[in-house]
Structure 1
Amino acid sequence: MKRIGWNEVPRKSGSSHVRLIHKDYANPYIWSFSDSEELGPVMLAKIAKHTGLTEDDL
């Protein structure tokens, strides 16, 4: 996501969620997955829908 312009907002104290912002999107995207979680095709499609990722990005 960083490759297509999403940047992490500094985390609030005690938060495990990552807030990502993009200059072309009004609302931040909240990333709530740990690095060890494997995401399936349905979740990847949902993320792509809200963030502008394409199949090539995934």
Structure 2
Amino acid sequence: MLDNTGQTVSPDNYTQNFTYNADGTMATVRFTDGSNTWTQTYSYSAGQLASVTNWVRS
């Protein structure tokens, strides 16, 4: 997977944390690699998954 700068990131090696919207759909996935927190955001249209962002480092 790619982050927002085009670098490869592998979340499979880390514990992932999920947040959900009020309607129960997944809002974000986050993980920390020890020095950075990575977030991927999900958006919906008419209840259907419309887009998933690249991983964003913060």
Higher strand content, 1 or 2: 2
Structure with the higher fraction of residues in helix conformation: 1
TM-score when normalising by structure 1? 0.31
